[in-house]
Amino acid sequence: MRATLHTILLLTLFAAFGASVSAEPLRLSIVHVNDWDRLDARAGAGGAAKIASIARYERDRVEAEGGQVLLTFGGDMLSPSLLSGFDKGAHMVALANAIGFDAAVLGNHEFDFGPDVLIQRLKEAEYPVLGSNVSYKGKPGFPGAERSRMVAAGEYKIGLLGLTTADTPSLSSSGPDVDFAPLAETAREISAELREDGADLVIALTHAVYQTDLETLRQVAGIDIVLGGHDHLVLVLYDGKQAILKSGSQGNFVGIMDITIDRVEGRNGPKLVWQPSFSLINTIDVEPDPVLAEKVAAYSSKLDQELAADVGVTEVALDTRRASVRTAENAFGNLIADAMRAATGADAALTNGGGIRGDTSYAAGHMLIRKDVLTELPFGNRTVTMRLKGPDLLAALENGVSQVEKGAGRFPHVSGISFAYDGRKPAGSRVSDVKVAHTPLDLGKVYVVAVNDFIAKGGDGYKTFEKGEIVIDASSARLMASQVIEYVQERGGVKTKVDGRVRRLD
């Protein structure tokens, strides 16, 4: 059915273009995936085996017709996933090698484990990774990444560049040695170079919000196509000259841009014309590729082994029973909040008791395993940070203790903050004696606060967090569970106690 439609479309297009000159028209099918860090399908969609299946199907189909396939990745694969928390994304590069990507761009999450780990991952990658606007230690480029690339497609030359969102330093752990140049500026410079080298078509792989992609295209006529990522949108934009394609996230959707390229006689001599057709495939009904499915199964069992690994001995008894984490300061709640604050460098951290789900207790001396931490934090929540005004921070604490008598999940576990509350007073005016970093809360000050992504969006009544100015958003954030595991490992066990940071007066 699809093939028939394509054939009809092609015939129509060739008729419209007029006679080809000096080169045969080419079918170029771009298969694009972005923001994929998950091994397997969830709710039937996405994952490595389904991506591989579509890529193979498309290669077979297009190559049989003499065309060419370009399998591209729009950034963010090394993190954040459970297994990446253990192997720093090595399994994702191995899977991407097996799927056979033709080109990728660096996403912000590629820097989550620091530049040294990324350099190692890039050595392992068997496909080119573009980092056109990245510089390292003051010099343009990043070790193992390419500034641009020319790909031969039939008798045509396709120029590729890769642009990474310029706010990566505040979204990841790229560190002081890595800088990102403005995207449009880099796009202008490199697309001109590629054109000079004879590129017929210039494609920018980007990892940025679509507003930035639009801006880049408006400012740089030398870019024909943007293959994007970062904001997890499934998106096609085409104005007849330039196009943007984004494929959501996790391979739940795979975007295909099927292009015919031709050189025709124009008024001022031969000119290149290209015509796209777009497909956005929901992978829910796609049969997984058996070879990749086997690799995924092997990694899943490795993950199970990893989850059985020791994290550290708790020196204090931990009580995560439902009522305990929803009505009072709690050592496990303190541990989570301390880990969130340490990992982000925020002034304060707050997480809701309802996010702690183990409903169990651990005696002092118990060796916590990774599975324990993930059982306590099963939602895959991430730690976002925001700039929040003093009064909004106070309002958040008021919300946290507003339903303490009901044992509501909003009960706040905090770090970097101490406060008292009186449960006899009406909700909204219970909190007193708030200190941040041992200093009384300054209502005129703005604090950097780390919270989980659920309450950041107003969950559990924390509407006040919606007023915060986001520093690290959920798509850039790391898993709370990974932060807790690292925090315990770095300190050689759980030493966090109940220390009076939340005092009940009644």
Which residue of the chain is nearest Zn ion when measured via CB? 230
Minimal distance, residue 242 CB to Zn ion, in Å: 22
230 or 478, CB closer to Zn ion? Answer: 230
- DSSP notation for 402-458: TTGGGT-TT-EEEESEEEEE-TTSPTTS-EEEEEETTEE--TT-EEEEEEEHHHHTT
Which residue stretch of 1-9, 46-54, 104-112, 307-315 sits at the interface with Zn ion (rule: CB under 5 A)?
A: 104-112
Nearest to 410 by CA among 449, 462, 481: 462
Q: Does 230 interact with Zn ion (rule: CB under 5 A)?
A: yes
Characterize the bridge pairing of strands 225-227 and 201-207. parallel
Minimal distance, residue 472 CB to Zn ion, in Å: 11
Minimal distance, residue 245 CB to Zn ion, in Å: 16
76 or 213, CB closer to Zn ion? Answer: 76
- Cα 490 from Cα 123, distance rounded (Å): 28
Minimal distance, residue 467 CB to Zn ion, in Å: 24
178 or 494, CB closer to Zn ion? Answer: 178
27 or 32, CB closer to Zn ion? Answer: 32
- DSSP notation for 281-338: EEGGGPPPPHHHHHHHHHHHHHHHHHHTSEEEEBSS-EE--HHHHHHS--HHHHHHHH
108 or 283, CB closer to Zn ion? Answer: 108
Characterize the bridge pairing of strands 103-105 and 129-130. parallel
Could you tell me which residues come within 8 angstroms of residue 111 by beta carbon, excluding any fewer than 6 positions away? 118, 168, 172, 173, 174, 175, 178
Burial of residue 248 (CB within 10 Å: 0-12, 13-18, 19+) is buried
> How many amino acids of this chain bind Zn ion (CB under 5 A)?
4
Which residue stretch of 128-136, 185-193, 229-237, 483-491 sits at the interface with Zn ion (rule: CB under 5 A)?
A: 229-237
Which residue stretch of 13-21, 87-95, 222-230, 411-419 sits at the interface with Zn ion (rule: CB under 5 A)?
A: 222-230
Minimal distance, residue 108 CB to Zn ion, in Å: 4
Handedness of CA 448, 452, 456, 461 (dihedral sign): negative
- Cα 97 from Cα 75, distance rounded (Å): 15
8 Å CB contact between 300 and 384: no
Residues 143-202 binding Zn ion (CB under 5 A) are none
- Max Cα distance, the chain (Å): 87
Applying CB under 5 A, which of residues 32, 39, 69, 76 lies at the interface with Zn ion?
Answer: 76
Which residue stretch of 8-16, 230-238, 311-319, 460-468 sits at the interface with Zn ion (rule: CB under 5 A)?
A: 230-238
91 or 230, CB closer to Zn ion? Answer: 230
Minimal distance, residue 248 CB to Zn ion, in Å: 13
Applying CB under 5 A, which of residues 53, 79, 84, 108 lies at the interface with Zn ion?
Answer: 108
Which residue stretch of 75-83, 238-246, 268-276, 478-486 sits at the interface with Zn ion (rule: CB under 5 A)?
A: 75-83
Q: Cβ–Cβ contacts within 10 Å for residue 441, how many? A: 20
8 Å CB contact between 282 and 45: yes
Which residue stretch of 24-32, 227-235, 342-350, 367-375 sits at the interface with Zn ion (rule: CB under 5 A)?
A: 227-235
- The b/e string for 210-235 (b: 16+ C-beta within 10 A; e otherwise) is bebbeebbeebebbbbbbbbbbbbeb
In the three-class reduction of DSSP (H, G, I as helix; E, B as strand; rest coil), residue 167 is classed as coil
Which residue stretch of 6-14, 99-107, 173-181, 358-366 sits at the interface with Zn ion (rule: CB under 5 A)?
A: 99-107
- Cα 238 from Cα 375, distance rounded (Å): 45
Q: Cβ–Cβ contacts within 10 Å for residue 43, how many? A: 7
Minimal distance, residue 255 CB to Zn ion, in Å: 17
Q: What is the phi-psi region of residue 205: left when phi exceeds 0, alpha when psi lies from -120 to 50, beta otherwise? A: beta
Q: Does 228 interact with Zn ion (rule: CB under 5 A)?
A: no
Applying CB under 5 A, which of residues 47, 74, 107, 400 lies at the interface with Zn ion?
Answer: 107
What the block records as the tokens of 60 is 């077979």
Minimal distance, residue 32 CB to Zn ion, in Å: 15
User: Residues 286-315 vs Zn ion: string with x where CB under 5 A?
Assistant: ------------------------------
206 or 496, CB closer to Zn ion? Answer: 206
Which residue stretch of 71-79, 240-248, 284-292, 301-309 sits at the interface with Zn ion (rule: CB under 5 A)?
A: 71-79
Q: Does 37 interact with Zn ion (rule: CB under 5 A)?
A: no
- Cα 37 from Cα 47, distance rounded (Å): 8
Torsions phi, psi of 364, nearest 5?
-55, 140
Residues 7-36 binding Zn ion (CB under 5 A) are none
Minimal distance, residue 290 CB to Zn ion, in Å: 31
Residues 401-460 binding Zn ion (CB under 5 A) are none
Minimal distance, residue 229 CB to Zn ion, in Å: 6
Site residues, Zn ion (CB under 5 A): 76, 107-108, 230
